[in-house]
Amino acid sequence: MIRLTEKRIVVTGGAGFLGGHLVERLHSAGCRQVFVPLQGEYDLTQAEAVQRLFQVHRPEILIHLAAVVGGIGANRKSPGRFFFDNIVMGVQLIDAARRYGTEKTVVLGTICAYPKFTPVPFCEDDLWNGYPEETNAPYGIAKKALLVQCQAYRQQYGMNAIFLLPVNLYGPRDNFDPETSHVIPALIRKCVEATEQGRAEIVLWGDGSPTREFLYVEDAAEAVLAATERYDKPAPVNLGSGVEITIRDLAETIARLTGFKGRITWDVTQPNGQPRRCLDVSRAEREFGFRARVPFDEGLRRTIAWYLSRPRAD
C-alpha cells in the first residue's frame, strides 16, 4: 500500500468535475503535495508542456484525469478532436512518467471503450470483443489505446501503471452546458428551465429505451484514491455502482425530483447511443475494497440542490 501523504502527486484534470472532488479528497486524507496543471499554463497536448510539467514538479504519483468529454451531440460534432486530444495527452503523459521514473501512474479510461453490444453486466475481460458504439467510438478507442500503452510499458519497462474504467459520473459541480453536458445534468437543466419558464413539454433524444449506470462523483473520487493506494496490477478495473436504469425511467425520476409536471416527448430521429450499460463491479471490490455508497435518488437530490443553488446566468 502506498502512503500518499508522503508523495508528490500531480492530478491532470484536477480542476475539472471528478478532479476537483478527488483533489479535495486527497487534501482531506492529509496529502499536502498535490499539484493541478491548469490548461492555460500546461497544454497537455503539447510535448513541451508535458516535459516542463515533469521537470518542474517531478511527480511521484501521476493521476491522469484530463480529457475532452461530452455527450452524444458533442461526440458527433467533434470526433477528430475527441480522438486526437485524448490520445495525445495520454500517450505523452504516460511516456513522460516512464522517462522520469514516476513511482505510480493512474490512468482513467471510459466505458465508451466497451463494444457496442457487450453482454451485461460489462466485464473487463469483454473490453476487446467488438467495436464501440459509433457515436463515441473515437473517444473510446483513444482511451482504450492508453490501456495498451500502460500494459506494454509495464511489460517492457516494469512501469507501475494502472487503468480504471469509470461509468457515467454525476453530482454537484457537474457540467450543465447544454452543448457538452452528459445526460443527468442535461435532464436536470431541461426540467428546471421548463418549470421556471412554464413550458408544458421537454423533448429528449432517442426513444428512452437505452440503459445506463451512474456513479456519484464523491464515490468515484473515493474509488480512484483506493486504487491509487492499493491496486498495482495490469488488468483494467471497472468503477461503478452496478445499478442499471433506462433513460426513460431516469427522465421520469428527474422530472419528479425537480417538480417538472409537463410532458416528456421522445425524438426518435435522434440516436439512442449504446443500447445498454451496466458494469460488473466485483473486481474493484475484490482488489481494493471499493463499493459505491451513495444511493441513486440521494445523489440526484444533492445534484439538483446544487444546481438550484448556483447563479444561473447561462
> Where residue 313 falls among pLDDT bands split at 50, 70, 90?
low
* DSSP-assigned letters across all residues of 145-183: HHHHHHHHHHHHH---EEEEEE-EEE-TT----TTT--H
Where do the domains of the chain lie, and which CATH numbers do they carry?
4-173+214-243+276-294 (3.40.50.720)
How far apart CA 237 and CA 8 sit, in angstroms, is 24
Q: What is the mean pLDDT of residues 117-133?
A: 95
The pTM score is 0.93
Known catalytic membership, residue 139: yes
The fraction of the chain above a pLDDT of 70, given in percent, is 99
Residue 96 grid coordinates:
513522460
Residue 262 grid coordinates:
409537463
Q: What is the mean pLDDT of residues 111-131?
A: 95
How far apart CA 145 and CA 257 sit, in angstroms, is 39
The helix/strand/coil state of 297 is helix
Write down the catalytic residue from 139, 216, 231, 307. Answer: 139
Q: What is the pLDDT of residues 247-280, one digit of tens each?
A: 999 999 999 999 999 999 999 999 888 888 899 9
Q: What is the mean pLDDT of residues 171-198?
A: 93
* DSSP-assigned letters across all residues of 3-62: -GGGS-EEEETTTSHHHHHHHHHHHHTT---EE---TTT--TTSHHHHHHHHHHH--SEE
pLDDT at 314 over 60: no
pLDDT at 61 over 60: yes
pLDDT at 75 over 80: no
